[in-house]
Amino acid sequence: MPKKTKQSVADWRKLKEGSPETRKKPLSWRARFKSLSSWIKRILVAAVIVAAGSGAYYVYSNFYVDEILSGKTGNIKNIELKTDGAITGKWLGSFLKIPPGAKLDDINIFAVKKSLEDLEQVTSASVERIYPDVLRITITELKPMMRVTVKINGGPRTYLMSPNGVFFRPVSMDRSFIEKLPRIEDARISFDGSRPRPYANAHKVREFLAYAQKLMPEELAKWRAINVRELDSVILPLIIVKTEGGAQIVFATQDYQKQFDRLDYILRYSQQKPLKSIERIDLSLKDRADVRISDQRQQ
């Protein structure tokens, strides 16, 4: 049986420390700097590649590649309209006047956006090319709450007022719809150029109409005008409603629930009696409501 060779302490140290021939010399500072520079260059190259890839993806995702490289240009087949207001596709087509056979790339989307946002009724517009053949237009509009007619250069001009008190000239709205909106009277409207400045007390009128819509929507439909002459009063702010029958209803600007309860009782009572022609109802009094009946003998 062969004898096992015993490792000496010297052999063991050679395995751990290595022989003088195989032991690496320490790197000089120049060698270390050269190695570090090589690694930095590799990292920078990798970063440039990643950035270029990300940029290419961003361009592609924003359709710049389609516009510049792919050449997917065709005639416009559809104009997609998304709006939260009254503007219709038919009105939009007549306003833009895009000729038949127009190519999608021929449309100046920035000019279209500006022309739409120049309309007082439009608060914002977005115009996009959707290749190969769709022009997408998204519009946000002011909503009408009331109307007012003012004289400008000797002629009448109708403006609508939004719930926030912004006045605007309407587009794409039927005259019958506009005429059904209640008029705002004695609002002391001032102008900034050719456009009325926003009405400061619009929030008070909006709150009042919200109560009317909630509590007596049938009567609200019969209101033709709202006079706000006394709305700025420090002692007793009032809102005066004029109905389609010519009657006046006076409201204080607080405790609407109680006032509408009284109005409902008065109107139901008047329908049960021969005298139905009411001239004025004053609901602004604290403890009662005054009702004035028109003199039918003079009619």
pLDDT reading at 8 higher than 50: no
Q: In what order do the strands lie in the sheet with 278-282?
A: 167-168, 155-161, 146-152, 183-185, 223-227, 238-243, 248-252, 278-282, 290-293
**pLDDT exceeds cutoff 50 at 69:** no
Residue bearing the bigger pLDDT, 163 or 277: 163
Task: Report which listed range, 150-164, 166-180, 184-198, is most confident.
Answer: 166-180
Distance CA 206, CA 254 (A): 13
**pLDDT, tens only, 92-129:** 999 999 998 899 999 999 999 999 999 999 999 999 99
Encoded tokens for 31: 């060698």
Q: What is the mean pLDDT of residues 31-37?
A: 57
**Residue 294, pLDDT score:** 80
Amino acid at 76: I
Does the pLDDT at position 149 exceed 60? yes
Q: What are phi and psi of 256, to 5 degrees?
A: -65, -35
Could you tell me the pLDDT band of residue 7, with boundaries at 50, 70 and 90?
A: very low
Name the residue with higher pLDDT: 11 or 193.
Answer: 193
Q: Each residue of 175-222: pLDDT tens digit?
A: 999 999 999 999 999 999 888 999 999 999 999 999 999 999 999 999
Taking the C-alpha atoms of residue 48 and residue 18, their distance in angstroms, rounded to an integer, is 43
Look at residue 27 and tell me whether its pLDDT is greater than 60. Answer: no
The ranges assigned to domains in the chain are 72-141, 146-298
Predicted TM-score (pTM) of the model is: 0.72
Q: Which residues neighbour 138 within 8 Å (Cβ) at sequence distance 6 or greater?
A: 82, 83, 125, 126, 128
| Fold entry, domain 146-298 | Rossmann fold (3.40.50)
CA atoms of 78 and 55, how far apart (whole Å):
31
Class of domain 72-141: alpha beta
Question: What are the tens digits of pLDDT across the range 43-62?
Answer: 555 554 545 554 444 433 33
